[in-house]
Amino acid sequence: MSVAVVGGGPAGLFAAETLSARGCRVTVYERMPTFGRKLLMAGRGGLNLTHSEPFARFKTRYGAASGRLDPYLDAFPSDALIAWAEGLGQPMFVGSSGRVFPKALKASPLLRAWLQRLTDQGVRLQPRAEWLGWDAARALRFRDLPAQRHDAVILALGGASWPKLGSTGAWAEVLAAQGVEVAPFRPANCGFVVDWSEAFRTRFAGAPLKSLALSFEGRSVRGEAMIAGYGIEGGGVYALSAALRDAIARDGRAVLQLDLRPDLTEDQLAAKLSPSRGSQSLSTFLRKATGLPPAAVNLIREANAGGLPENLAHAIKHVAVPLTATRGLERAISSAGGVSWSAVDETLMLTARPGVFVAGEMLDWEAPTGGYLLQACFATGLAAANGVAGWLANP
């Protein structure tokens, strides 16, 4: 049997590997000149492949889609992904945060070994193949290629973030025309716009804020952030980005709360700040007494109309940062939205197009950074491949 996989990212490549190992003739069509470009981008940060936390907790990281993704994650949990990577000759290790990385701390060795495995299994890799939909005879249409006929199709075209790496979201219009329900795309794991003063923006854009507690709507996370010229970004912000994004869409703004010294109580901070500062300026005294870097001290000023308030201990623990908009999809790490769960059956086949399956970020789910994104891409890639195998056996 012949299977087309449209999209050469992790979900599509894993589906291709699974089906070719079962004897299917598989062609992977990729719009870009090379495969796995987003995987290589993730490798710039060490390639956080998955997370080591207890898997029952792991599965709760997918928000509204958690229950829907559960069976696919159960069928391919984090230990299975680790074993797969090590089977490609890439030893893994668990970092201090619980995140799992290859010891090489980059994606290129893994991707090279993976593409070689696919080639050895007989998978045909077709780059520069931009998918345009179907013709009247239900054959796949590609720009500058003849129509292609296959017995089954897996679409793994990604979401709509970082379009320059290949995930443009242009497929949404094609599927919507076929009667497939597609939820609008929204940025996920993204930065947010803050109306910084010009002096603060000019001086501190690019400055890190480390060892924070970030809070919004009753949820608090530990992490880091970075002041950007347009606002604020970073791992701690990304962990709260879905709730912040939705609040901005609902209310026009959201206020992110920062605790700049979460390991100290307000009383402990007050004790550190109680000695006389002598001839030191207030900002110098504050830096020396609390260990806060200049960016953090001036962030307190920024949050208090340009001055340092009398109750400094309280101000350090309660920095309000008003957010007015999300950073655009073109710079978001991932996207929410995509093919609605109501448009696919439990095998991830489109109910409007029998024999066509969907995997990866095309589906309407989102997750924080930390290995959760890649884990779900692999898990849904496997599920779509299993769905194809079952459908071909009983069409």
Q: How far apart are CA 11 and CA 156, in angstroms?
A: 6
Q: Are residues 236 and 356 in the same domain?
A: no
137, 153: one domain: yes
CA–CA separation, 112 and 115 (whole Å): 5
Same domain for 217 and 105? no
Hey, what are 69's tokens? 């993704």
Closest Cα partner for 255 from 215, 198, 302? 215
The residue from 326, 344, 368 where one domain ends is: 326
Question: Which residues have a Cβ under 8 Å from the Cβ of 64 and sit 6 or more positions away?
Answer: none
Same structural domain, 301 and 347: no
Residue 242 belongs to domain spanning: 192-326
Helix ranges (H only) for 178-261 are 198-204, 235-239, 241-251
Q: What average pLDDT is seen over the chain?
A: 94
Using alpha carbons, select from 309, 314, 220, 310 the residue that is nearest to residue 267: 314
How many C-beta atoms lie closer than 10 Å to residue 383's C-beta? 25
With H, G, I as helix, E, B as strand and everything else as coil, classify residue 377: helix
137 and 25 in one domain? yes
259 and 309, same domain (yes or no): yes
Instruction: Region of 119 please: left (phi>0), alpha (psi -120 to 50) or beta.
Output: alpha
Q: pLDDT digits over 16-71, tens only?
A: 999 999 999 999 999 999 999 989 988 787 899 999 999 999 999 998 999 999 99
Predicted local confidence at residue 308, as pLDDT: 80
257 and 280 assigned to the same domain: yes
Predicted TM-score of the model (pTM): 0.92
Contact criterion met (CB below 8 Å) for 253 and 324: yes
**52 shares its domain with 172:** yes
Q: Where among 326, 360, 380 does a domain terminate?
A: 326
- Let me know whether 167 and 231 are in one domain: no
Pair 174, 201 in one domain: no
**CA-wise closest residue to 239 among 364, 341, 334:** 334
Give residue 162's pLDDT: 84
Dihedral angle over CA of 355, 359, 364, 367, nearest 10: 160
Listed residue (386, 336, 341, 381) closest to 81, CA to CA: 381
Q: What angle do CA 25, 389, 380 make, to 5 degrees?
A: 100
Domain boundary (326, 357, 380) is at 326
Question: Which pLDDT value is given to residue 272?
Answer: 87
Spell out a b/e string for 254-291, using b for 16 or more CB atoms within 10 Å of the CB, else e.
bebbbbbbeebebeebeebbeeeeeeeeeeebbbebbe
Claim to verify: residue 317 and residue 352 sit in the same structural domain: no
Q: What is the pLDDT at residue 291? A: 87
| Per-residue pLDDT, 207 | 96
List pLDDT tens digits, range 87-97. Answer: 999 999 999 88
The residues, any chain, with a CB within 8 Å of residue 259's CB and separated by 6 or more, are 212, 213, 214, 215, 316, 317, 318, 319
**Could you tell me the CATH number of the domain that includes residue 23?**
3.50.50.60
**More confident: 395 or 236:** 236
**What does the pLDDT read at residue 155?**
98
Let me know whether 321 and 378 are in one domain. Answer: no
- Give how many domains the chain has, as a whole number: 2
